[in-house]
Amino acid sequence: MPDLLTTLLAGIFLPLFPMSMVFNAILDKVKYNWLRALLFLGWPLVGLLILQNSNPEMPDWVLILALTTSFLYALRMLTLREVNQWSGFLATSLWGLLWLPVIQGVSAELLYWFAISMSIPLVLMVFLSAGLEKRFGAAYTGLYGGLARTIPRYSGVLVTVVVAATATPLFPTFFIMLDMVVETISNKPVAALALLLIWLLWSWAGARLIQGLIVGRASKFKVVDMNINAISFYSIVLIALLASGVYLSGVIL
């Protein structure tokens, strides 16, 4: 019984449906960007800490529920229009998959690395979303559109961050996903297929988000584009992520 309770408690932080709703409900209520960023960074780490300290026996249904949760949120992302919500759902979908390496007995250090690598693009999304809210009053796709013409530098960064968040090569999540597929294909081919399907849904959702925000004619509002310092900051983080992805590939593949 304690094992089950620990698993359920961890299921709040490494989202398992319906406990996954806790994170998204909290994210919805939090209005401070720094707190949102902290939530994105810290939430899965708490789950990993719980599991590491209690080391519970994992029932078989955890894997099924983890994949279902991840799939559910990936599917729901397709029709989200608010950037913060989108990031929250992607986080839920990504972190849910961390159960796979946990079940496979991957080392704690690597698990933390996986979680942080998955979360960093989402933290960047928080700041980008805040930038949109500051400029337009909201961060909804389709509401204003045409960002590529209105604020091209900002759009470039936004697109790159979305690409990084949705497990595109050479960002770390790509290699994590690849590793998960490799590890599951022989023993659990259905799980490997589910992983690839979830991955496909992320790409679909990412493309819909990009299209809703950047495509269209230039906005009539006069807004300031991203300054050089901000671009440098995002570029450094993204390059570091790329480097970390390449390094991770050498470690896990």
The CB-of-204 to another protein minimum distance in angstroms stands at 6
**Residue from 38, 45, 64, 78 binding another protein (CB under 8 A):** 78
Residue closest to 212 by CA, chosen among 75, 27, 124, 80? 80
Question: Does position 188 bind another protein by CB under 8 A?
Answer: no
**Residue from 33, 68, 219, 249 binding another protein (CB under 8 A):** 249
**Residue from 7, 69, 84, 85 binding another protein (CB under 8 A):** 85
Residue closest to 74 by CA, chosen among 167, 197, 162, 221? 197
Given the complex with another protein, which of 49 and 82 has the nearer CB atom? Answer: 82
Judged by CB under 8 A, the stretch of 62-70, 77-85, 117-125, 131-139 that binds another protein is 77-85
Q: DSSP label at 218?
A: P
Distance of CA 116 to the CA centre of its chain: 10
Q: Is 216 helix (H, G, I), strand (E, B) or coil?
A: coil
Judged by CB under 8 A, the stretch of 57-65, 96-104, 115-123, 181-189 that binds another protein is 181-189
**Tokens standing for residue 214:** 């950047």
Given the complex with another protein, which of 77 and 125 has the nearer CB atom? Answer: 77
**Residue from 211, 221, 227, 240 binding another protein (CB under 8 A):** 211
How far apart CA 92 and CA 114 sit, in angstroms, is 14
Binding mask 117-156 for another protein (x = CB under 8 A): -----------------------------x-xx--x--xx
What is 53-116 written as a DSSP string?
HH-PPPPTHHHHHHHHHHHHHHHHHTT--BHHHHHHHHHHHHHHTTHHHHHHT--HHHHHHHHH
Residue 19 neighbours by CB under 8 Å, 6+ apart: 8, 11, 12
Please say whether the beta carbons of 114 and 98 come within 8 A: yes
Binding site for another protein (CB under 8 A): 21, 24-25, 28, 72, 75-80, 85, 146, 148-149, 152, 155-156, 159, 163, 168-170, 174, 178, 181-182, 185-186, 189, 192-193, 196-197, 200, 203-204, 207-208, 211, 214-217, 249-250, 253
